[in-house]
Chain A
């Protein structure tokens, strides 16, 4: 599909740049990103329902629409 190839090339520069930045992140920055993610997961841990198995099992809805 040659037309599609053309489209890919004309993709917005911003997005391409964003992706490159992520790929080219220096080790220090990658470390910071990982720490940030770990913090977020810890934060999410603190709001998660306490018993995953029980909660998932008892989560039942009636069909709708």
Chain B
């Protein structure tokens, strides 16, 4: 049985420290986060982190799990998000959201937090120095950084079933999830422009790594919830999106596909021959007409494969409902938009300017080419590509397009601003965020599935949060209303 598709997005932002010879990105990332949270810093609790555990049930098999860098800046915000330095990037992990639309707002709130961090960092910098962040996925020189999605999945689903169905899913969904990129990297054969920023970086079908030999299906088995009941599917193949429609579709459609896998609803084998190569084939063809060979014979385009998934999803919605995927409202809207986007992709992908990042960016680049007569290798096009993702509101080309009314938005800006400080109401992020907002001095540490409170007398109290949907507003709002101290809260929770 499908479990509710609680979901979140973690984004590693690119960071530049300009105006100084010693442009240390770790230092720049730390300064950004410190500048934002200066007034209050609550640490992250690493006790339950186990990124080396493999979902396929076996040991490390020679692969190295990522090291946890506990000395770097790491903090939790009142909106339930985690904001920290990962490797040499500032990373923002949204709080757990109950559906795709809520996550669009939480993800956009992350962009605003980074923008405010840049502003706040100015007082820590010398004259002429500036920290600038970009929400993109590579530097054009073979260095990539991720935008990972996370979905709650039932533990009882065999991992092989996830792998079988997700490989064709990840290969084909690029047609609407791609953020677009000028050129290729990492040894891929040259093209002028491609759909996905990340496609050139995947080298394996399945695996535990995230930094080298990147796999399409990541097997990290770290549920951050009751491990008897849940998995957390850690998706590393997505691009960082700015277009809200793209994020909405990326998350909303993937949630429905996962629910179908959990309910064993996908009754045909959509496996592709050579999925790793197929990822590049799809990405390198902005006409969306390249064909893929299927394991059970025949061939089809990525869009045709998407129609297969959509038809199954429509049938699933009719027969089972979309209760666990945002209900009829959000889930129903996902289906409608999904169909509209596939229809337009077949007619003319450029008609999705303002909805999908790869098309919106391509449209801008083509406008410049036609005005200035630029060849694809002109550095100005590479600059436009980078600056599309600039997070400074006054410099971001994406934001210029939004302000010009050329990009469709799904979330009101006032709701985005609220999501910078207030947690989503329907997941345990509410409990985490409320504790931090009410008693910041008493929260010693927090992580996804627990929070440690100092109630004034030893010992510290650890409150487990192993159910992602408990600790929501419906569960605990009254409790927060009635308690005036963390000690009272702990006492009430124990009784």
Q: Which A residues contact B (CB, under 8 angstroms)?
A: 1, 3-4, 7-8, 10-12, 15, 18-19, 22, 36-38, 40-41, 43-44, 47-49, 52-53, 55-57, 59-65
Contact = CB atoms under 8 A, between A and B. Distances in A.
Contacts, number: 122
Interface of B: 12, 14-16, 25, 66, 86-89, 91, 138-141, 143-146, 148, 210-211, 214, 236, 304, 307, 310-311, 336, 339-340, 342-344, 346-348, 351, 364, 367-368, 371, 378-380, 382-384, 386-387, 394-395, 397, 400-401, 404, 406
A18 B148 CA distance: 34
12 contacts: A15-B340, A37-B367, A38-B371, A40-B401, A41-B371, A43-B400, A43-B404, A44-B400, A49-B387, A52-B380, A61-B143, A63-B211
Given A12-B339, A48-B387, A61 B368 contact: no
A44 B394 CA distance: 10
Nearest to A38: B371
A7 B236 contact: no
A52 B397 contact: no
Contact of B140 (A36, A47, A53, A59): A59
B139 A64 contact: no
Q: Which 5 A-B pairs have the closest CB atoms?
A: A64-B145, A62-B88, A65-B210, A11-B343, A65-B146
Contact of A64 (B144, B339, B379): B144
B148 A65 contact: yes
A15 B367 contact: no
Contacts of A1: 304, 307
B311 A3 contact: yes
B16 A59 contact: yes
A15 to B, nearest CB: 5
Given A4-B307, A8-B343, A48 B144 contact: no
B343 A47 contact: no
A49 B400 contact: no
Nearest to B139: A61
Contacts of A3: 311
